[in-house]
Amino acid sequence: MKLFQSMNTSASALTAQRLRMDVISSNIANAETTRAKLVNGKWEPYTRKMVVMEPNQKQGFKQVLNSYLQEGSNNGGVKVTKIVEDQTPFKKVYQPNHPDADENGFVYLPNVDVLKEMVDMMSATRAYEANVTALNSSKSMLTKALEIGR
């Protein structure tokens, strides 16, 4: 059994959750940005981004169990595969005095729902905290194991 495998697994999750929190923060910061990118000479609003994660190894339970029993290791953990843009349509709001209003007085705002982003942020924060707790538990167990040898 690899001695630090549990720490490596928790560390990969910590890295992924930290990136997820960064992307959510960016979404919240740009919730009112109407000029994010220039497409065909016309400004488009900011588009919400989402993090896609996958396990480090795509295996079923049986394969993971067998590899652990035979080799004594499990390359667990998670990795971020990509950051995708949400394809939900932009919000159309009537604000005739806005500088980005069209000829009918409508402004297109980003497809970011701040309430949804806050829920995602809480979820990412809780997952991060859980992995910190698991990392600290592993560290404590390894320390106690070293004390046994004294």
Higher per-residue pLDDT: 24 or 1: 24
Measured at the alpha carbon of residue 100, what is the angle toward residues 96 and 102, in degrees to the nearest 5? 60
Every domain of the chain and the residues it spans: 5-31+49-85+112-148
Model pLDDT for residues 101-142, shown as the tens digit of each residue: 989 999 999 999 999 999 999 999 999 999 999 999 989 988
Q: Which pLDDT score is estimated for 84?
A: 97
pLDDT at 39: 85
pLDDT computed for residue 149 by the predictor: 76
Three-state DSSP at 44 gives: strand
In the chain the first and final C-alpha atoms are separated, in Å, by 22
- Chain segment 58-92, per-residue pLDDT in tens: 777 777 777 767 765 556 788 999 999 999 999 99
